[in-house]
Chains A and B, each alone.
Chain A
Amino acid sequence: GESVGLHLPTLSVQEGDNSIINCAYSNSASDYFIWYKQESGKGPQFIIDIRSNMDKRQGQRVTVLLNKTVKHLSLQIAATQPGDSAVYFCAEVSGGYQKVTFGTGTKLQVIP
């Protein structure tokens, strides 16, 4: 399944399926992008990052894709597990002071 992360939509995915969470960022000069996971009642937790000179980066079960032409970032989670249920935020880093700007988040619900 897919979602566009500008409003805090909810993405429901069956356990074991792949999840794709999308994010549109605003600043074409941003040079670094980060995905965070926020579980209920906790602070955001770093998942994976990517620099603007890359278009793909893989981690354990996660892949981030960056399309600078359309200012789009996606997070792919393979074989989604119940523990993946959380709100996912993309963040862009830009400017001389390296300010981190968060997107509005997407809630991922994993159906057992």
Chain B
Amino acid sequence: DTAVSQTPKYLVTQMGNDKSIKCEQNLGHDTMYWYKQDSKKFLKIMFSYNNKELIINETVPNRFSPKSPDKAHLNLHINSLELGDSAVYFCASSKRYHGGSGETQYFGPGTRLLVL
């Protein structure tokens, strides 16, 4: 069974469209994250949610809106997609929020977004 799953795996869309990426974890973790990885493999945190509450929002444009309907899900909705949004988006989860204090983050397989 996949611990952290994301859908879709690939997403190709036109500029200006609105799209969503879904993430689910079956680990019973309290905390979930979204990361963006650019073409140079640089990974940057976008959002962190603990028990459905937003903890970190790293200067992400408000076109990006995370939604956590429950602890096991953290979806990412993107409005008015731009060329620069093309990247791989990773969802992750950890048991508790204090992400550095021994709480390993488990990553999903990624969603490859290409904006044309």
Count of A interface residues, CB-CB < 8 Å: 24
Given A43-B109, A46-B104, residue A97 in contact with residue B43 (CB < 8 A): no
Which applies to chain B's interface (DSSP): helix, strand, loop or mixed?
loop
Q: Which of A64-112 contact B (CB under 8 A)?
A: 87, 89, 93-94, 97-102, 104-105
A29 to chain B, nearest CB (A): 12
Q: Is B74 an interface residue (CB 8 A)?
A: no
Q: Can you pick out 25 interface pairs between chain A and chain B where the beta carbons lie within 8 Å of each other?
A: A32-B100, A34-B104, A41-B110, A43-B4, A43-B90, A43-B107, A43-B108, A43-B109, A43-B110, A45-B107, A46-B105, A49-B104, A89-B43, A97-B55, A98-B98, A98-B99, A99-B45, A99-B48, A99-B56, A100-B99, A100-B100, A102-B43, A102-B44, A104-B40, A105-B42
Q: Which residues of A contact B (CB under 8 A)?
A: 8, 31-32, 34, 38, 41-46, 49, 87, 89, 93-94, 97-102, 104-105
A32 CA to B90 CA in the complex, in Å? 22
A30 to chain B, nearest CB (A): 8
Q: Which residues of B contact A (CB under 8 A)?
A: 4, 40-45, 48, 55-56, 90, 92, 97-102, 104-110
In the complex, are the beta carbons of B42 and A97 less than 8 A apart? no
In the complex, are the beta carbons of A44 and B102 less than 8 A apart? no
Residue of B nearest to A100 (CB): B99
Residues from chain B with a CB closer than 8 A to the CB of A100 are: 45, 99-100, 105
Output the residue of A43, A45, A46, A89 with the most chain B CB within 10 A. A43
Residues from chain A with a CB closer than 8 A to the CB of B104 are: 34, 46, 49
B94 to chain A, nearest CB (A): 9
In the complex, are the beta carbons of A105 and B100 less than 8 A apart? no
